[in-house]
Amino acid sequence: MSIYLLLEEPKTDKPEYTKKILMLQVGVIIKTIQQISPNVYDDEIQALGLPIDLTVSLQDKSTLGAIFSEIKRSGLLKEQACNAFILSTYALTSDEFTKGLIIQAKIILAASTLIKLDNYYGVIKRALDAIRLLFTDKFCASLLPELPDFALDNSSLIKELMLLKNKGRYGSHHLTSIIALLKNYHNKAPRYYPRNIKRKAGTGSNPKRPDYAPAEPAYMSDKDEDNLTEFTISPLENDENDINIDDLEHIADQQSAKRFFAINLIAPDEVMHSLSLQNQLAKAAANNIFRREKQLACEYRQLTRFEITCLVEHCMSYVEADNNCAYLLTCLLIGKNIEEIKYNNHSLVIKDNGPFKNQPVWLYKPSLPEHKVDTPLETLLNRSIGKVIMSLPKQLTSALSKLLTTTIDLIQIKDSVQCIIDTINKEKHTRLTLPRIINYLSYFMNSKGVDATEIALLLGKSIQQEPGCSYYQVNVGQLLQLHQKFVKNVLGNTNQLFANEINQPTEITVGSQLQVKSDTLANMFALLQDRLSVLRNMKWSALEEFHNIYTIYILYMLNLSTGHRPVRHPYETLNCFDFNAGTLYISDKEVRSSLSARVIALPKTAIDQLIFYKAHLTNILSFITNIKIETGKQIQNALTAEGPLFFFLNDLNFIAVTPANLDVYSRDILPLKLNWHRHFMRTWLRKNRIHGHLVDGWMGHISSGGDALGRYSGICMADLKGIATVINTLLVDELKIKAQAPWSSQ
């Protein structure tokens, strides 16, 4: 086995130099683990096939960082997974560097073993990406010191990683991919062989349809995601281990489809590429639905109300005498496992004042982007300064105080909790398991139609998977009320268990840190309107300033109306707008695994403004064409939908609207991150009682139901037109925005 099967061909300015640096760094990595564990990994190291004359010398971290940055700028971090993984130690401090090399060495040894087997490329690639993110992502920096010693034997290392993952630290989801790689490496996973299928004898004639067997893919995707297994028609030979097809069909009928099939085609490269993207989209949608399957209201694997009642009655009967019953009840009420409760004990407090005096309370602050700005700009924003609060019954105070203040054997607690669950299952014929009990809070909220973003913020789980969490700012009391409704539903409305008054200040919020104040936006649009009024009837010398401010004014209005992401050539061409139907086609985030294109309805004010903008382009076309022919052609293309609709002017030269250019031209108007409008609108729409799944569809987020206007979606255009009507009231009544007339100087 050669290390060259893991390393990708460098795509840098100096590929040979990059390859040399990579090989030297591999030598440094392997030499490190040889020093830590001599003679332990000799066979695996020899199998790497490193050159005999390899000169091992410690690489300068600045050199590694420069090559890593070049790969990152090229957008090849996913494609160059192994190269980026090897270079990622540049981001480590001097104290962390040796530990990082040992981690890399164990991963390389595992990857070099599994790469020889079929169907493990995806496992390897995900683990390499996970290590790279742990080293380079500043948000995961707190997890790195807690990682165990990777020089341990595989069995002990896997156990340590599992314990760390269960603590629920930020970034611990990356450990899943690492554990999967190490488990396969530890088990020396065998080569995958397909199973043959035949019809049971005596049940009728053989089916006329052909059998199917896995074959090599017809093409290999050059994108980030793993390829789907392609299928071709081929005859199969009988085998002693044949499986009865009737039994297999029965099993398949009881399961959700998890794989999509494609036919082995002979077609041009562009068709193959298109099919590859379609397959990846189908896989992403299927994985998303499967991930959400546990939260379906009709999902039989979830616990029933009867089972929860049996659990609560048993725990409440023994809660004073048995602390383990209190721990089990806590897992149910806050949706956390015992490890998370114990190791995040800074989040669990016993309140000594306020509305929850002498009650245990779970407090935590969601880990979200800070969006730091200069001090003078702080007055423009509403910052989130609160914490998520989940209150617990007073009966749990004694047991949880003991958990916080004393050293307790978690393994013994887990065994005792499992005994309680087994006892209830035996007596009441229930199907209780600890994971089902922990997941019941999320399932209950989802079945009651609670916004998935609010569920994620409340539980502190799936925040990275719910994109709305980064844009949404919600009142602390609102989340607390959601949780108290759940607790009251489970335990009953008893004065002994709950505070009668919440008394949470309404201005305390959690979530997005980039919430612009409504007054700020109203004042900004008023100033822009005044400036446009002054410039509109001036001489042609003021045209350029008028056009640039006019463009920013319209873009800000449309961004608030549509939630469009800041991209190059926003709103593309006039063909994206349907003025008769009042709709807009948006394609602002085409990625390899999902499609975010959508059609939304436009507010009336935005439509009126676009009509004015078309007239503006017509008015300035002749004047600019006489001075700058090329710029005139660009404006003509904008009017005929053959070129970008929006642009800036600099000395009457055509300047494309890109995020960088928009940031420059708007810096003196509103010097904030360009997606401030998405933060503002997500929060504003939820405050105005637009349901979360409608807001996700409007913003282009794929929710649990998939694409907002997909085949099986319950959302229709009437819902989006309702959103447009509500947004129009925001523009006109709250922000005092008016459609501005075009340039009119003669």
pLDDT confidence of residue 633: 94
Give 190's pLDDT tier (boundaries 50, 70, 90): very low
Ranges of each domain in the chain: 3-187, 210-234+254-295, 305-513, 518-734
CATH of domain 518-734: 1.10.443
pLDDT per residue over 390-406, tens digit each?
988 888 888 888 877 77
Which tokens sit at 110?
Answer: 């595992």
Residue indicated by tokens 């005792």 = 416
Q: Report how far apart, in Å, the C-alpha atoms of 413 and of each of 29, 161, 398, 580 are.
A: 40, 20, 16, 66
pLDDT per residue over 537-591, tens digit each?
888 888 999 999 999 999 999 999 999 999 889 998 999 999 999 999 988 775 4
Of the candidate ranges 21-30, 283-292, 550-559, the one whose mean pLDDT is the lowest = 283-292
Residues 6+ apart with CB under 8 A from 474: 454, 457, 509, 510, 511, 683, 686
Residue 368 DSSP symbol: -
| Secondary structure (3-state) at 473 | strand
pLDDT confidence of residue 230: 32
| Arithmetic mean of pLDDT, 303-330 | 91
The partner residues of 388 in beta bridges, in order of sequence, read 364
d(CA 482, CA 442): 11
| Contact yes or no for 577/668 (Cβ under 8 A) | no
Of the candidate ranges 265-274, 435-444, 566-575, 638-647, the one whose mean pLDDT is the lowest = 265-274
| Secondary structure (3-state) at 601 | strand
d(CA 518, CA 33): 58
| Contact yes or no for 632/643 (Cβ under 8 A) | no
- Torsion angles phi and psi, residue 364, rounded to 5: -160, 155
Give 46's pLDDT tier (boundaries 50, 70, 90): low
**DSSP state letters, 244-285:** EHHHHHHHHHTS-------B-----HHHHHHHHHHHHHHHHH
| Arithmetic mean of pLDDT, 504-525 | 87
Residue scoring higher pLDDT (42 or 226): 42
| Secondary structure (3-state) at 711 | coil
Of the candidate ranges 339-343, 368-372, 377-381, 635-639, the one whose mean pLDDT is the lowest = 339-343
434-447 helix and 476-491 helix, angle to the nearest 10 degrees: 120
% of the chain beyond a pLDDT of 70: 73
Give 40's pLDDT tier (boundaries 50, 70, 90): low
| Arithmetic mean of pLDDT, 100-109 | 83
pLDDT confidence of residue 52: 44
Residue 258 pLDDT exceeds 50 = no
Give 440's pLDDT tier (boundaries 50, 70, 90): very high
| Contact yes or no for 640/648 (Cβ under 8 A) | no
Neighbours of 272 (CB within 10 A): 16
| Contact yes or no for 730/724 (Cβ under 8 A) | no
Residue 734 DSSP symbol: I
d(CA 531, CA 222): 50
| Arithmetic mean of pLDDT, 275-300 | 59
Of the candidate ranges 148-157, 690-699, 705-714, the one whose mean pLDDT is the lowest = 705-714
| Arithmetic mean of pLDDT, 258-283 | 56
Which tokens sit at 145?
Answer: 């010191």
| Cα diameter, the chain | 94
Residue scoring higher pLDDT (32 or 221): 32
pLDDT confidence of residue 21: 73
Residue 376 DSSP symbol: G
Neighbours of 249 (CB within 10 A): 10
pLDDT confidence of residue 328: 93
| Arithmetic mean of pLDDT, 366-380 | 90
| Secondary structure (3-state) at 653 | strand
Residue 458 pLDDT exceeds 60 = yes
| Contact yes or no for 224/78 (Cβ under 8 A) | yes
Give 59's pLDDT tier (boundaries 50, 70, 90): low
Residues 6+ apart with CB under 8 A from 707: 285, 595, 598, 713
Nearest to 602 by CA among 622, 623, 580: 580
pLDDT confidence of residue 292: 54
94-114 helix and 174-187 helix, angle to the nearest 10 degrees: 50
Neighbours of 514 (CB within 10 A): 24
pLDDT confidence of residue 228: 34
Contacts 24+ apart (CB under 8 A), 138-145: 139/170, 139/171, 139/367, 140/170, 140/171, 140/174, 142/169, 142/170, 142/171, 143/169, 143/170, 143/171, 143/172, 143/174, 144/92, 144/96, 144/99, 145/96
Report, in angstroms and rounded to the nearest whole number, the Rg of the chain calculated over CA atoms: 30
Averaged confidence pLDDT in the chain: 78
CA–centroid distance for 527 within its chain: 37
**DSSP state letters, 89-107:** GGGS-HHHHHHHHHHHHHH
pLDDT per residue over 344-354, tens digit each?
767 888 877 77
Residue 50 DSSP symbol: -
pLDDT confidence of residue 706: 60
The CA-CA-CA angle for residues 83, 87, 91, to 5°, reads 145
Nearest to 612 by CA among 623, 604, 601, 600: 604
Residue 224 pLDDT exceeds 60 = no
Give 195's pLDDT tier (boundaries 50, 70, 90): very low
pLDDT confidence of residue 309: 92
CA–centroid distance for 201 within its chain: 50
| Arithmetic mean of pLDDT, 240-253 | 46
d(CA 635, CA 651): 15
Hey, which bits of 613-685 come out as E strands? 647-650, 653-656
- Torsion angles phi and psi, residue 600, rounded to 5: -130, 165
d(CA 56, CA 609): 65
d(CA 570, CA 588): 8
| Arithmetic mean of pLDDT, 690-712 | 77
